[in-house]
Structure 1
Amino acid sequence: MRGLYFVVTAIMAGMTSALPANLTGTRRACGTVLSGAKMTAAEEYFNAHKPQIDLSGLSKCISVYWHVISADNTLEGGNIPERQIENSLKVLNGDYRRSGLSFSLAKVDRTVNADWFNNVGPDEVEQTDMKKALRKGGASDLNVYSVGFKSGSGEGLLGYATFPSSYTANAQDDGVVILYSSVPGGTAAPYNLGRTLTHEVGHWVGLYHTFEGGCSVLGDHVLDTPPEASPAFGCPTSRDTCPGGGSDPIHNFMDYSDDSCMEEFTDGQTLRLKAQLATYR
């Protein structure tokens, strides 16, 4: 992920304003807003300031503020029920159980605002207004916004997130924005098992995509994720796009595989996210 402030996970094929109808046959992709040079600067700062102690035993409970943004009071309008939010947290906690992180739902609030639901996206004024009005807590608190991504820079997106290193420069922007129908039981198949939230929270705790940098040595700045030339789609077993290092990490939460294919973080990713949290959150 070449960027410091936010990443965007988008559905590029078959993009229509009819989302969130079933998304079978579409593919994820990621767009960024900052240059590789700024990512390099962020990594240099992180390497200079991260704690020089053993963080393997670090555990942390993160409070989650969930902001349901809907066009109206219907499910189709984005007003997802409490059970889908609770199930999202169950998936999130299960996916991060080996990392020492846990997530506790602090509060759910609901806002009927068709403008925000339809038009929120990276750098859009609607996003700024929404987060200014609703964001709660501090650097260590996770704010999740579920929206419709119908138009503008948000059209067709699955989600986007801020990195830990962006908090000091723009605390108000901190958080994760996801497509409301990507939650467990939603209609955004094959991305409706909750792994969009897991993936975006991965960025929020400082992880890059597994295919970051392609087959280069630095890659995603985690040594035990096999190099990967490009994102994986679907669940292509035994895919191997780089010489050496083994098969591509298609089951990793930070790849682009279908939700049902995602199932793991590596030990190296766990150590990195703990160091990122200790440095920034």
Structure 2
Amino acid sequence: MKKTCLSLAIIMALFSCQKEDDSQITPKVSKRACASQEVLERQLKENPELAVKMSQIEEFTENALRNPNQYRLVNGKIEIPVVVNVLYRNAAGNLSQAQIQSQIDVLNKDFNAQNTDYNQVPALFSGVKANVGISFVLDQVIRKATTKTSWGTRDAIKKSKQGGLDPTSPSTKLNFWVGTIGGGILGYAQFPGGSSATDGVVIDPLYFGVYSNSSSSYPYNLGRTATHEVGHWLNLRHIWGDATCGNDLVSDTPSHNAPNYGVPTYPHYSTCSGAPVEMTMNYMDYTDDRGMYMFSAGQKARMDAIFASGGARFSFAQP
């Protein structure tokens, strides 16, 4: 079982990550790559106060996990309005309304245990698989033509002054930005605690929504990139803790020695202490879309905590 407590010193170390490369434009990637950790590392360097704020969020989360009766959700169920900001260079990037809705449908299935592959969760993890109980409703689609070939991960896509689009009501609506990221990045999210001016999730249009298995998006064609990134937006870490046998701050997920790719054959054993079977089918791993299909109860508890009174996303819990 992993400890979930987090000190200010640990939070700085937890967010070390790959170096950012905004210069490449990769139409199709061979391995899943999420830039959420590297974006957070940059934000921490640019704003030292963010580490303090995130440490406070972790302290609140830890208290909520220890005392769930004192930190109940306001309405018991959370429904989040979604704004999708589409920044396109050509017709292919100007996603149809149906394509956008397919992504909202995937989020609703994945966060409510209604995905058809949910019943594939192995018996070993059946006791901790969770219905998170968060719903998403498409509120608005905003479209903007652009000449940019790629946006990178420095949040220009979220800023009108840099050619992007400012977020809409970020304290009460989840903003997606859909545009070519480049650098082999499928998407990235901002963790709770960051600036409201950049709050939300960025997804490359190749990986937003459901495409056919024969598409250039395969094997990331089932909308699970957004499920993974929204997990970050809701305060979940990568399941391997972004370190060898790292800490994802969740007690019921087994230690992973590193990210998993493709669709690992079950059971896949960790090289970490005790050699546990890894939860490779968890949305917060790096497996192919068809290989991820569950959140754990501990992850659900972390997500619930940020909506409780005093939580980082409490404003989203209001009727």
- TM-score w.r.t. structure 2 length? 0.72
Alignment length, in residue pairs? Answer: 261
- 1:240 maps onto 2:240 in alignment: no
Deviation at 1:68, TM superposition (A): 1.2
- 1:171 maps onto 2:196 in alignment: yes
1:269-280 map, 5 Å: 269-278=299-308, 279-280=311-312
1:63-74 map, 5 Å: 63-72=81-90, 74=91
- Which of 77, 84, 87 matches 2:99? 84
> Given residue 83 of structure 1, which amino acid in structure 2 is its aligned partner?
A
1:35-54 map, 5 Å: 41=52, 44-50=55-61, 51=64, 52-54=67-69
- What are structure 2's unaligned runs of at least 5 residues? 1-10, 113-130, 314-319
SS at match of 2:186: strand
Q: What residue number does 2:143 align with?
A: 110
Deviation at 1:17, TM superposition (A): 3.0
- 1:160 maps onto 2:188 in alignment: yes
Q: Aligned pair in 2 of structure 1 residues 258, 245: CA closer, same or farther (>3 Å)?
A: same
- Which of 228, 251, 254 matches 1:199? 228
Q: Percent identity?
A: 29
Please say which structure displays the higher CA radius of gyration. Answer: 2
Q: What residue number does 1:141 align with?
A: 173
> Given residue 206 of structure 2, which amino acid in structure 1 is its aligned partner?
S
> Given residue 144 of structure 1, which amino acid in structure 2 is its aligned partner?
F
Per-residue deviation, residues 123-158 of structure 1 (Å, max 9, x unmatched) = 2545433697431113231000111124xxxx3210
Report which stretch shifted further, 27-36 or 235-244: 27-36
- TM-score w.r.t. structure 1 length? 0.81
> Given residue 103 of structure 2, which amino acid in structure 1 is its aligned partner?
S
Report which stretch shifted further, 227-236 or 207-216: 207-216
Deviation at 1:249, TM superposition (A): 1.3
Deviation at 1:46, TM superposition (A): 2.2
Contact 2:31 2:261 in 1 (8 A): no
Q: Aligned pair in 2 of structure 1 residues 38, 222: CA closer, same or farther (>3 Å)?
A: farther
2-side partners of 1:42 and 1:245: how far apart? 35
Deviation at 1:27, TM superposition (A): 4.3
2-side partners of 1:44 and 1:245: how far apart? 30
Contact 1:10 1:28 in 2 (8 A): no
> Given residue 172 of structure 1, which amino acid in structure 2 is its aligned partner?
A
Q: Aligned pair in 2 of structure 1 residues 29, 201: CA closer, same or farther (>3 Å)?
A: closer
1:121-132 map, 5 Å: 121-123=152-154, 125-129=156-160
Deviation at 1:45, TM superposition (A): 0.8
* Consecutive aligned runs of 4 or more in structure 1 exceeding 6 Å deviation: 6-12, 35-40
Q: Aligned pair in 2 of structure 1 residues 114, 131: CA closer, same or farther (>3 Å)?
A: closer
Q: What residue number does 1:221 align with?
A: 249
2-side partners of 1:10 and 1:264: how far apart? 29
Deviation at 1:80, TM superposition (A): 1.1
Task: Answer 1 or 2: which has greater strand percent.
Answer: 1
Deviation at 1:107, TM superposition (A): 0.7
- What are structure 1's unaligned runs of at least 5 residues? none
CA-atom RMSD in angstroms:
3.3
